[in-house]
Structure 1
Amino acid sequence: MSEVNSADDGERPDRGGGPGRDPGGGVRLGGWTRFVTARPRLSLLVALLLTALAVVAGGGVADRLGSGGWEDPAAQSTYATKVLEREFPGSQPNLLLLVDSGRRSVDAPSVAAEAKRLAARLAAEPGVTGVGSYWQSGAPTLRAEDGHEALVAARITGDEKTASETLDRLAPTYRGAHGPVKVKVGGPVAVRHEMQTTIREDLTRAELIALPVTLVLLVMVFGSAVAALLPLGVGIVAILGTNAVLRGITEFTDVSVFAMNLTTALGLGLAIDYALFIVRRFREELATGAEPPAAIAATLRTAGRTVLFSALTVAVSLAAMLLFPQYFLRSFAYAGIAVVLLAAGAALILLPAALVLLGHRVNSLDLRRVFRRGKSRETTGAGAAGERTAAGERTADGGAAWGRMASLVMRRAPLFAVATTVGLVVLGLPFLGVKFGTADDRQLPSSAEAHVVQQHIREGFPGSPGGGLEVLAEGRATETQYTAYKERIAALPEVRRVDGPLVKGDTAYFAVQPKGEAVDEGAQRLVGELRATDAPFDTSVTGTAAVLVDSKHAIADQLPWAAGFIAVVTLFLVFLLTGSVLIPVQAVLLNALSLTAMFGAVVWVFQDGHLSGLLGFTSSGSIETTLPVLMFCVAFGLSMDYGVFLLSRIKEEYDRTGDHRDAVRFGLQRTGGLITAAAVILAVVMVAIGTSRVTNTKMLGLGIALAVLMDAMVVRSLLVPAVMRLTGRATWWAPAPLRRFHERFGLSEGEPPAAPEEKEADQERDKVAAPG
């Protein structure tokens, strides 16, 4: 990977009176620039103190996070579940003891006696209610078809944290051998508990993988070990700060444990992106002879603006998830917005202060010298300037390669545009067969105890125990009315059996077993049929399939608003950057196109099960409903991140020369290596997250890694220059009112235009300096 940070890779010289200076010769500093350049040590001290406070404030955040959040809190199924938990706790068991009698029958006297003793003991435990078992009820759904296993079901009361603590207390007591039987612990509460524990362990392992690999890649990019450590520092600050933010949010609302993965991935990934951009620009300014304060002023005025603008575009994509009612999605918005803003803040405040203090020492400890001994001897006598020149020549070659590729793409623009678009569409075709489902025990490794229990139930028990539907009936009714309603339910084509009603005052419930799997298409149709069945009382339907149906409806209702929000705000922000009407439309469409490979791979791999053995997961035959929304928002935001970096350089060059084709070539030449390096590093972080043993986390990490690489290496390198060549100078068109709006409020990475008095001063200096 070649260095991407020298000034000598083809960039035009500045027009003003020197690097980091306005045309009048003075250095213009913004408020934060003045502070970090005048008091860099104080800036660093304040940042370190705030980071230390974040460590304290964010301590124990993982223990306060939930593992659910897929249901719509306003849905009918959620309401029915809460009423049933309160009135009929036995109808909503979340703890299952799988009792294995070995070669004996579960009806053997010794087995039955021990199982009844375990059930009675469990019923006496604090925090446990609604205990029932096969040996008490004789229900056939609680007995395995081979007669060697049966279930004890119960409900652990309290919220997720309380239930998890209760399970920690109970599981060691009941798990294992008890006389003639062996017991395994499962059920939804056990699945959630194992998922939280596994995610925590996997996240630690991912960090241990990602940090050293990332450091090596950064050294390869920068050459300097000192420069390479700076992005990692920014990332660590962003992650620790976000943990503190999440800890505070948990005081007011639920937050998903999965959000921790996004915090780590985006914290490292975006911090590295932003730091790469700023450190590279700073080193460019130093290489042209600027002193560190002037260099950092120019850096923040140019690259700093782009970083801030990029952070806003990413935050917008993530903020769209706040429109959805599921706290699983909202959690990623909380974590994502916080980590993006903190990464940008650290890159714009903490990093400049460090760069001012380091100065030219930012290029120290070039670890690549051991591989370039010959070149090092040649440059020994030349000093630091000679080293910078050699580095610049190496970068020029890499930049020239990107420039040649851009020229080739633009010479064959129709071919590259059509071929790339068709290829991306083909890669996305498997998504047309997507099937949505719910997250269950198959998210866990096949060896996890909770997974083993549920797999035994799925394969060996009739009627999918725990996967049925419950119908809540509210209102005064007679026995005759209940019987008539039960008969109407039993007559539905998808119903295997109806149990009940169990009556308590004016409330009752019926347990309905569908003929197929718990969440297959038949079960989902049955939800609608039950809700449409006439009854002389108010009815509400819940159960796994009902939660899925309601979740799909909630997402479908909000998806147009979320997509519209992302599109409109992105169009506006890109217009502010470019002043063009066409470029924002291109950016939105091409960014969306860059995600096709990710969505196609998600279905082909994780739904259809291809590569499941290699990647170590169990396919459930469906994709959890909220995952595509999450992956779209994150990947679209990251694509915009890279798009902003490229467009800002193209716009800067077009403003300088007015040559559209050369501006596109120059923009790719200047940012191609940077974007590729940033994408590879971010992909490494996401792949490290993708080593998780939890399938959803694996899907998130590997899917976004693929999207990032496709965006940087295909869309930014091939499709964007091809499309911009085809649209030509019309790319930059905007109606007069919008042009005036952009002139007043627009943003760019380039130098701000000089005021009239500054131009006059320039002309006077030129006259004095002219020979003769």
Structure 2
Amino acid sequence: MFERLAELVIRRSRLILVVAVVALALMGAAGVGAFGKLLGGGFDDPASQSTRAGEVIGEKFGGETNLVLLVRAPGGRVDAPAARQHGRALVAGLRKEQGLENVISYWDTDHPDLRSGDAREALVLAHVKGDETQQDETAKSIIETWTGDYLGALTVRAGGGTAVGDDIGTQVGKDLVLAEAIAVPITLILLLFVFGSAVAALLPLVIGVFAVMGTFAELFLLGSVTEVSVFSVNLTTALGLGLGIDYALLMVSRFREQLAAGESVEDAVRLTVHTAGRTVAFSAATVAAALAALLVFPQYFLRSFGYAGIGVVAIAAVSTLLVMPALFVVLGHRVNAGRLPWLNRARSDHRESGWGRLARTVMRRPALTALPVLAVLLLAASPLLGITFGTPDERVLPEDAQSRQVASVLEEKFNGSDEAALHVVIDGPVDRTPLQSYALTLSELGGVARVETSTGTYTDGRPAAAGTGNAALGRPDAQRINVVSALPPKSDRAQDLVEKVRAVTPPDGSRPLVGGVDAALVDSKDSIGGRLPLAVTLVALTTFLLLFLFTGSIVQPLRALLLNLISLGATLGVMTWIFQDGNLSSVLGFTAQPMPVTMTVLMFCVAFGLSMDYEVFVTSRIKELHDLGSDNESAVANGLGRTGRIVSAAACLLAVTFFAFGTAELSFLQVFGLGSGLAILIDAVAVRGVLVPAAMRLLGRSAWYAPRFLRRFHERYGLSETGPAPRPAAVPEPAPGAPYPKDPTRV
């Protein structure tokens, strides 16, 4: 297959490049429209009880409170005549907004729970209509219009779910601009040093542009027929450039190596496509398999990263296998044009590379060198024993964010928050007496401040002194019950309360649905946790199958999976130690809280895929040398010697892109960026440099074992076709950026 592909590229190189340029223009034109199709949110399971509760409340009660306006009377009390007059004017103006409904305030109800203990602040509660994207747009307009000083008498600040979402969206934009402003220039400079010439350094950008533009076009098409998160754009740009660097570095290095060995341009292209091209194809398949696991989750936030990840990997691989060889044919030896003069330093061509020497050192004492590394990685993974999970809330924002400040005031000065309450809805008629009995039982649960219904307000198992109900909570065909908690939102006790409320026996013939922020967190964790075993199993099985087809061994896939899990465990443990336990919080500027469940799953899949990317890079060269007759130790040392520099250079370049997210002010972006970058470096250095050669030495010949029937299967279906035998290189592969000998066939 790869031989035929190489011949096609050699014969039709210019035509392929013309078609590629046209395809890029078409993909760019379609991709521009993607941003109008992508949605915000997507963190909740649409089939969960909390989501269904929100739908019923939206249909029959005008929606849950998702916007809280904190109104302060700077010069006095909110009950003062002037403050009351201006407060009612504020509420009247808000009720005229088309995107708001269920607007209630302290000045309408005189409800004491809508006024702070010192009477200087009052609340206006409202529901922002529409889906999550429409809510974001409406909330932004409302906040810009109504917050700040109002008539010189009141100060208005916005909080609640939609305000937090608006602040997060704004901060994400700022953080990404800063991260890209840091990562892109550094990456471009490093590309020049790694490749050693301006022309070669531009090749990864070519692949990256194809991958990003093609994936934008894919997201445009998918966004037209299903829900796709706008956050998938971030993975597209980061992974597109990263894979462009990985694949281009592998292909360019092999092409240069063959040119240096005296091959003609055409033969060098043939060998490059058959060896490095085959590696790229398998590498892309393993990365795509890891990211495809995201498709099993019901949250379209995670599924969207699966769509984007599979698309960007596939397009990067196809571009590498078609466009890159075509450019090699056209450029020939000019691929080394524009060399940096300060990198044209002399280098002994007979020295063994540092990675090769490291591999031989490890294999001489495999247990002695591997055990300390394993001990460090297992120690790093130990914080996972105490890991807890949560979902992003106002605490991911910097402390000066308006919605976070409002949340702090609500917690300190108000007796529970309706926006953070558990919303129980019964979709059907309920008689007054059973409803009262149900509400009284709910009010007796530990941590409940009060229970509000259409029949009255209840505390500690008895009616409140006022004894009046909220008629807006009752309908002939439905009832809504607000269980206001005195517990910190999203705490373990708040989550336990959700389970206790759901366990209370409801009125006969009714099936209550429990919603609210704490219920949504419980449902999200249950949903992701329930699908996680399936996702992990699919990743393991597909990775095992692909690596078996690649190597013909059943031991190599098991070795790769085990080492990758160890390195990922260490990464997740370090992230838990930092972000959950609060270490380095003063340096990075975040608030310690449970690990974000969606970002943790995303980081695992991305890091696992990239780890398998480097696994294939190294194993492919080891297997190639092994198949040519080298003994196991020589194949490992020489294979790692030839690919170690490629893997380490690619890892450093890609890690720069992810580490740039460490400058973000949103903590969940810091988790994703720092975790992914750390996973890449651990894999490239500790796993590829030490654990792989140690494992290969300990396994010996059994490293390539497969039962006879599987060997026959691999001979028939595995991609191990015989290609053009590579001519033995005259010299070892030069380091990235070092000069290559002049082609003796050229005048």
Query: CA shift at 1:658, angstroms?
Result: 4.6
Q: 2:90 aligns with which of 103, 118, 121?
A: 118
Counterpart for residue 232 of structure 1: 205
2:116 match: secondary structure: coil
Counterpart for residue 390 of structure 2: 437
Tell me, yes or no, if structure 1 residue 415 matches structure 2 residue 368.
yes
Counterpart for residue 188 of structure 1: 161
Q: Distance in 2 between matches of 1:505 and 1:103?
A: 44
Tell me, yes or no, if structure 1 residue 129 matches structure 2 residue 101.
yes
Query: CA shift at 1:639, angstroms?
Result: 0.5
Letter in 1 for 2:116: A
Query: CA shift at 1:682, angstroms?
Result: 0.5
After superposition, where does 1:629-668 map in structure 2 within 5 Å?
Answer: 629-668=601-640
Query: CA shift at 1:604, angstroms?
Result: 1.5
Counterpart for residue 573 of structure 1: 546
1:496 match: secondary structure: strand
Counterpart for residue 66 of structure 2: 94
Q: Distance in 2 between matches of 1:143 and 1:751?
A: 79
Structure 1 gap segments, 5+ residues each: 1-27, 376-389, 755-772
What's the CA shift string for 1:441-481, capped at 9, x where partnerless? Answer: 22223333233322332333331441110111123221111
Counterpart for residue 285 of structure 1: 258
Tell me, yes or no, if structure 1 residue 493 matches structure 2 residue 464.
no
Counterpart for residue 523 of structure 1: 494
Question: Which shows bigger deviation, 248-257 or 117-126?
Answer: 248-257
Counterpart for residue 16 of structure 2: 43
Query: CA shift at 1:134, angstroms?
Result: 1.8
Q: Distance in 2 between matches of 1:100 and 1:144?
A: 10
Q: Distance in 2 between matches of 1:697 and 1:422?
A: 29
Counterpart for residue 22 of structure 1: none
What's the CA shift string for 1:90-115, capped at 9, x where partnerless? Answer: 5x122222212124112222112111
Query: CA shift at 1:342, angstroms?
Result: 1.0
2:42 match: secondary structure: coil
Letter in 2 for 1:137: T
Counterpart for residue 76 of structure 1: 49
CA contact (8 A) 1:437 1:623 kept: yes
Tell me, yes or no, if structure 1 residue 427 matches structure 2 residue 398.
no
Counterpart for residue 757 of structure 1: none
Q: 1:171 aligns with which of 127, 138, 143?
A: 143
Question: Which shows bigger deviation, 708-717 or 410-419?
Answer: 410-419
CA contact (8 A) 2:67 2:128 kept: yes
Tell me, yes or no, if structure 1 residue 510 matches structure 2 residue 473.
no
CA contact (8 A) 2:114 2:414 kept: yes
What's the CA shift string for 1:593-626, capped at 9, x where partnerless? Answer: 111222112211112222223223333x211222
Query: CA shift at 1:425, angstroms?
Result: 0.9
Query: CA shift at 1:371, angstroms?
Result: 5.9
CA contact (8 A) 1:226 1:365 kept: yes
Letter in 1 for 2:624: E
After superposition, where does 1:324-363 map in structure 2 within 5 Å?
Answer: 324-363=297-336
CA contact (8 A) 1:319 1:337 kept: yes
Q: 2:648 aligns with which of 667, 673, 676?
A: 676
What's the CA shift string for 1:697-727, capped at 9, x where partnerless? Answer: 2211111000000000101101111111111
1:59 match: secondary structure: helix
Tell me, yes or no, if structure 1 residue 212 matches structure 2 residue 159.
no
Q: Distance in 2 between matches of 1:549 and 1:64?
A: 29
Tell me, yes or no, if structure 1 residue 299 matches structure 2 residue 272.
yes
CA contact (8 A) 2:271 2:724 kept: no
Counterpart for residue 695 of structure 2: 723
1:58 match: secondary structure: helix
What's the CA shift string for 1:365-388, capped at 9, x where partnerless? Answer: 111x1365xx5xxxxxxxxxxxxx
Q: 2:528 aligns with which of 538, 545, 555?
A: 555
1:421 match: secondary structure: helix
Letter in 2 for 1:217: L
Question: Which shows bigger deviation, 541-550 or 284-293?
Answer: 284-293
Counterpart for residue 203 of structure 1: 176
Counterpart for residue 694 of structure 1: 666
Q: Are the structure 2 counterparts of residues 67 and 73 from structure 1 closer, same or farther at C-alpha, using a change threshold of 3 Å?
A: same
Q: Distance in 2 between matches of 1:112 and 1:248?
A: 52
Q: Distance in 1 between matches of 2:37 and 2:71?
A: 32
Counterpart for residue 570 of structure 2: 597
Tell me, yes or no, if structure 1 residue 741 matches structure 2 residue 694.
no
Query: CA shift at 1:195, angstroms?
Result: 2.2
Question: Which shows bigger deviation, 714-723 or 487-496?
Answer: 487-496
Q: Distance in 1 between matches of 2:240 and 2:217?
A: 13
Identity %: 47
Counterpart for residue 387 of structure 1: none
Counterpart for residue 712 of structure 1: 684
Q: Are the structure 2 counterparts of residues 425 and 296 from structure 1 closer, same or farther at C-alpha, using a change threshold of 3 Å?
A: same
Q: Distance in 1 between matches of 2:112 and 2:630?
A: 79
Q: Are the structure 2 counterparts of residues 357 and 204 from structure 1 closer, same or farther at C-alpha, using a change threshold of 3 Å?
A: farther
Counterpart for residue 742 of structure 2: none
CA contact (8 A) 1:438 1:625 kept: yes
Tell me, yes or no, if structure 1 residue 450 matches structure 2 residue 403.
yes
Q: Distance in 1 between matches of 2:720 and 2:339?
A: 33
Q: Distance in 2 between matches of 1:434 and 1:142?
A: 36
Counterpart for residue 80 of structure 2: 108
1:541 match: secondary structure: strand
Q: Distance in 2 between matches of 1:205 and 1:350?
A: 31
Question: Which shows bigger deviation, 142-151 or 735-744?
Answer: 142-151
Counterpart for residue 558 of structure 2: 585
Query: CA shift at 1:283, angstroms?
Result: 0.9
Query: CA shift at 1:169, angstroms?
Result: 3.1
Q: Are the structure 2 counterparts of residues 192 and 748 from structure 1 closer, same or farther at C-alpha, using a change threshold of 3 Å?
A: farther
Q: Distance in 1 between matches of 2:40 and 2:227?
A: 10
After superposition, where does 1:355-434 map in structure 2 within 5 Å?
Answer: 355-367=328-340, 369-370=341-342, 375=345, 393=348, 397=351, 399-434=352-387
2:628 match: secondary structure: helix
After superposition, where does 1:21-36 map in structure 2 within 5 Å?
Answer: 30-36=3-9
2:621 match: secondary structure: helix
Query: CA shift at 1:199, angstroms?
Result: 2.2
Q: Distance in 2 between matches of 1:139 and 1:589?
A: 60
Letter in 1 for 2:656: V
Q: Distance in 2 between matches of 1:354 and 1:616?
A: 46
CA contact (8 A) 1:37 1:353 kept: yes
CA contact (8 A) 2:418 2:482 kept: no
CA contact (8 A) 1:649 1:749 kept: no
CA contact (8 A) 1:409 1:416 kept: yes
Q: Distance in 2 between matches of 1:440 and 1:405?
A: 46
Q: Distance in 2 between matches of 1:158 and 1:232?
A: 40
Q: 2:421 aligns with which of 462, 468, 479?
A: 468
